[in-house]
């Protein structure tokens, strides 16, 4: 025999009948959702980017200015004349 309380509810404390049961279920769903949401936020913020590592755990190398210049030239962002001028300035 299941105890349903003196008002006919299921012990959720929100009144008797089905309304109390529905409100109680909604509250439990909200609590579970909040726990999952907070856990996912903390797991996302606990990545390795703050430690100079990428997601695979390998150290991330800082790009040198000359490497950036070479990449920009290779991608066509700057022309040969600009590349040569900037390269001379960096050296």
pLDDT tens, the chain, 91 aa long: 455 555 554 554 555 677 878 888 999 999 999 999 888 887 776 554 444 555 555 566 788 888 999 999 999 999 999 999 999 988 8
Task: Name the helix (H) or strand (E) containing 87.
Answer: helix 80-90
13 with 35, same domain: the answer is: yes
45 with 72, same domain: the answer is: no
43 with 83, same domain: the answer is: no
3-state helix/strand/coil string of 29-83: HHHHHHHHHHHHHHHHHCCHHHHCECCCCCECCCCCHHHHHHHHHHCCCCCHHHH
In a domain, 10, yes or no: yes
Counting Cα atoms < 13 Å in the Cβ hemisphere of 66 gives 6
Considering its fold, how many domains does the chain have in total? 2
In a domain, 73, yes or no: yes
In a domain, 86, yes or no: yes
- Per the structure, the complete domain to which residue 31 belongs is given by 1-50
Distance CA 10, CA 14 (A): 9
């Amino acid at each position: 025999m299941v105890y349903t309380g003196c008002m006919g509810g299921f012990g959720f404390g929100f009144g008797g009948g089905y309304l109390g049961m529905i409100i109680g279920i909604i509250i439990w769903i909200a609590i579970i959702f909040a726990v999952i949401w907070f856990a996912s936020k903390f797991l996302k913020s606990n990545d390795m980017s703050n430690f100079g590592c990428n997601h695979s755990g390998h150290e991330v190398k800082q790009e040198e200015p000359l490497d950036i210049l070479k990449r920009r030239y290779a991608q066509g962002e700057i022309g040969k004349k600009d590349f040569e001028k900037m390269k001379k300035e960096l050296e």
